[in-house]
Amino acid sequence: MAITLTESAAKHIQSTLANRGKGLGLRVGIKKVGCSGFAYTFDFADEIGANDLAFDSYDTKVVVDKEVIGYLDGSVLDFQKSGFGSAFKFQNPNVKAECGCGESFSVE
C-alpha cells in the first residue's frame, strides 16, 4: 500500500511547511460530500499517530489514516499550476466515477 508524490507536489509541500515553520508532512484524507460520494481533504501533519501510515516521496511525507488507505492506495498526488490557480491533483486508480465539476468521486 502506498501513496506517492510527484516532484512538483513534494516541492510545494516542502515550501509550505518551511513557510509555516513546523510540520512533518501533508495529511491526506477523504470525507463524504458532493454528488459522487467523497472528496479529498488536506491538512498539515504535525505528528504520526498510532492509526496513521506514512509514505515518503522526494524526502517528503504523506500521512494517511489506516481507515481510508483502501480508497487512496496506489494514488499519485501531483501539484499543478494552471493560469492564475494551482491545486493538488490526484491520480487515483480506485476512482470509478467523478462528478462533472471534479470536486467529488466514488469508488466501488
Query: Do 78 and 8 meet the contact criterion of CB atoms below 8 Å apart?
Result: yes
End-to-end CA distance of the chain: 18
* Strand arrangement, sheet containing 25-33: 52-57, 60-65, 25-33, 37-45, 105-107, 95-98
Is 12 a residue whose pLDDT tops 80? yes
Helix (H) or strand (E) holding 87: strand 85-91
Is 24 a residue whose pLDDT tops 90? yes
| Complete domains list, the chain, with CATH | 4-107 (2.60.300.12)
Q: Compute the average pLDDT of residues 44-58.
A: 96
